[in-house]
Amino acid sequence: MVGNTRKKTDLNPNNSVDCVIFGFDFEQIKVLLIDRGQNLGNSKNLRALPGNLIYEEEDLDEAAYRVLEELTGIKDIYLEQVGAFGNPNRVNKESDREWLKSIRDEPNARVITAAYYSLVKIDDFVPKAHSFAKKAEWIPLTEIEELAFDHFEILQVAKEKLKQKIKIQPIGFNLLPEKFTLSQLHKLYECIFEKPLDKRNFRRKIQKLNILTNLKEKQRGVPHKPSQLYKFNEENYQLLTQNGYDNFGF
């Protein structure tokens, strides 16, 4: 392969991106997985992370944004690299090999993947027709036990990175709609940290940070005391962090 002859639309058969797309439905964290719709005798039809080969003339981040848009129709999304995964035996399940044969020109090529995680507002998700994904589904994190390739391992690392990142940057807002309640935010943090957080202490700290704008608007139609709605205050967040503040943990 000679660099000068590469075209934008040439596939790089040796490098891919895989995306761990997190969503939140106010109850639990979910991950968008694809169903490859394989009919296999007795072996399981394992779900997979959305991902694909990159193009020759494409940066890794670009490729991740592209794959995300192709799959979800969402642009300008929060995206963070998890890392590179290159175990030579990443593809060691018979079902994975079968599947690659059906969709790849070079199904036996060694592929090193750059994994990303992204946080999306679940309601913005617009399922798109996707070449090789028979279905795309939101699966609760707690129900995921096995995935294709090394995707389960990638998911574990992505979860860990998310947990760490959210302690130093309030990225959780990317999982909530523009307007949200403190209870929803509270629940979100409990789901990410996988442990209960005291309601009053949580509210005290998040409000003290002064990065929420109270919209003076209430929830409607709920069969109990309606909640105040808030939105994330980007400007105050900038002010807060410009002197190095980075304690957003609970």
Q: Which residues bind a second copy (CB under 8 A)?
A: 1-4, 6, 12-15, 54, 56-60, 81, 83-88, 106, 108-110, 112, 114, 164, 168
Residue 226 DSSP code: P
User: Considering CB distances under 5 to 8 angstroms, the limit depending on partner class, which of DNA, a second copy, none binds residue 222?
Assistant: DNA
Cβ contact 180:217 at 8 Å: no
The vertex-27 CA angle with 132 and 32, nearest 5°, equals 10
Partner touching 198 among DNA, a second copy, none, CB below 5 to 8 Å by kind: DNA
Chain residues 228-247 in contact with DNA, contact rule CB under 7 A: 228, 247
Q: 146 vs 246, which CB is nearer to DNA?
A: 246
Residue 161 interacting entry, from a second copy, DNA, none, C-beta within 5 to 8 Å by type: none
Residue nearer to a second copy on the CB measure, 35 or 190: 190
Tell which positions 162-221 bind DNA, by CB under 7 A. Answer: 181-183, 198-201, 203-205, 208, 218, 220-221
Which does residue 96 touch among DNA, a second copy, none (CB within 5 to 8 A, set by kind)?
none
Minimum CB distance to a second copy, residue 55 (Å):
9
**Minimum CB separation from DNA for residue 201, in Å?**
5
Instruction: Give phi and psi for 219, each to the nearest 5.
Output: -55, 150
Q: How far apart are CA 153 and CA 101, in angstroms?
A: 23
- The DSSP string of 30-90 is EEEEEE-----SSS----B--EEEEETT--HHHHHHHHHHHHH---S-EEEEEEEE--TTS
Non-local CB neighbours of 89 within 8 Å, separated by 6+ positions = none
